[in-house]
Amino acid sequence: MAKTRKMKCAIIGCGTIGNTHADGYAASPYGELVCVVDLVKSKAEAVAAKHRVPQALTDYRAMLKDPTIEAVSVCLPNYLHAPVSIACLKAGKHVLCEKPVALNVTQAKAMQAAARRYRRLLAIGVVNRFHDNVNAIRDMIRHQELGQVYHVHTVFTAHRSIPGLGGWFTTKSKAGGGVMIDWGVHFIDLILYCLDFPTPVSVSGAAYAKLGRNMRDYAYTGMWAGPPNFDGVCDVEESVSGLIRTKGPNIAFEGAWARNIGKGDMYIEFLGEKGGVRLQYGGNFTVYTSRDGALYEIQPSLRVGSMFQSEFNSFLQCAATGRKSPAHIDTVIGTQRVLDAFYLSAKKNREVAVR
């Protein structure tokens, strides 16, 4: 039997998600993590120590010079996705860049152009596309089991979950936005993927920045990506709502990192003529249908693997074989276009076309 080729890979950014990538590469039969990079040396060194990685660097440009490294994960704050991914592609590396693609469509298109020009794979960390339950729902919709799906409704809300107040997550120039670009991107992408990418037509969105702006007044019990930096900036929305019209179903959404309601939820509902599906985000789903006058509620039970491990394995295999990745940049640009239209709509306070 042919031996599986282990592609030498590197990670740039050893924060929360960089650690997940490191665990994934270490566990993958298709990769070998040989270099980790972080501006903060101790972070790179910690990941290197955990996984016995030979190189821990603070400047990614030094890593780019190593021709034996073929694949790179870009796990950096959003404003660095475009410049660093493009530099990696130019250096001949395949890239798995975390979500969102970038701050805006202009940057996303520059990344796509670089992938084409340098003939390397650029995959995006739209990890829900690798969730077995999500793919089961996508298959059901494809096989018309719900009939015509005419509407999707999604909620991604929390009571108190603004991340790292005053840090890069809440700084528009570094994050591109707040809850919509950070959490909303996962939900919108998952929905477009399950619907087989209907052309988005317009967005009518509203964005609210009410609870985090006066940082010292923000009451909370815990803070991920914290602690707060009161010398920093919070100029992004923490709450959103809106409607996306597509050439297929409409998509209504409600999202919040924080709001003055003590309950949060995360789900997606697909409404079809013959049946509906309610997916608890990251979890199980229920199918609702009727037959011969009877109502049915079905809770399928699937063997669900790790979506992250599937994402990393897929990236490495597609990079090695040239097979088209399910998270290929060409299929994620549409999600970024919806995000851009959302922010424009919220700014103009009216419905805008998706360009």
Q: Which residues bind to ligand NAD, rule: CB under 6 A?
A: 12-18, 37-40, 43, 60, 75-78, 80, 98-99, 125, 127, 182, 225
Shortest separation between residue 267's beta carbon and ligand NAD, angstroms:
17
Q: Is the previous residue joined to 227 through a cis bond, with omega within 30 degrees of 0?
A: yes
Residues 280 and 214: beta-carbon distance below 8 Å: no
CA atoms within 13 A on the CB side of 317: 14
Which of 163/276 has CB closer to ligand NAD?
A: 163
Q: Least CB distance from residue 353 to ligand NAD, whole Å?
A: 26
Q: Answer for the pair 192, 334: CB distance below 8 angstroms, yes or no.
A: yes
Q: Whole-number minimum distance, CB 224 to ligand NAD, in Å?
A: 8
Could you tell me the smallest distance in angstroms from the CB atom of residue 115 to ligand NAD? 18
Cβ neighbours for 304, distance < 8 A, ≥ 6 positions apart: 131, 132, 133
Nearest-CA neighbor of 312 among 59, 61, 33, 82? 33
Q: Which is nearer to ligand NAD, 98 or 204 (CB)?
A: 98
Instruction: Give the shortest CB-75-to-ligand NAD separation in angstroms.
Output: 5
- Cβ at position 12, least distance to ligand NAD in Å: 5
SS3 (DSSP) at 136: helix
Cβ nearer to ligand NAD, comparing 15 with 326: 15
Closest residue to ligand NAD using C-beta atoms: 15
Using CA atoms, how far residue 109 sits from 102, 198, 281, 336, in Å, is 9, 19, 29, 10
Amino acid at 35: C
* Shortest Å distance, C-beta 298 to ligand NAD: 28
Distance in angstroms (rounded) separating the CA atoms of residues 280 and 184 = 15
Rounded distance between C-alpha atoms, residue 19 and residue 191, angstroms: 27
- Distance between CA atoms of 155 and 252, rounded to whole angstroms? 9
Between 13 and 31, CB nearer to ligand NAD: 13
Residue 257 and residue 183 in contact, taking contact as beta carbons nearer than 8 Å: yes
Q: Using DSSP, state whether 344 is helix, strand or coil.
A: helix
CB of 244 to ligand NAD, least distance (A): 21
- Give me the residues paired with residue 290 across strands: 295
- Which residue, 76 or 346, is less far from ligand NAD as judged by CB? 76
- Looking at beta carbons only, is 62 or 353 nearer to ligand NAD? 62
Largest CA distance in the chain: 67
- Rank residues 40 and 62 by Cβ distance to ligand NAD and give the closer one: 40
Residue corresponding to tokens 């239209």:
341
149 vs 185, beta carbon nearer ligand NAD: 185
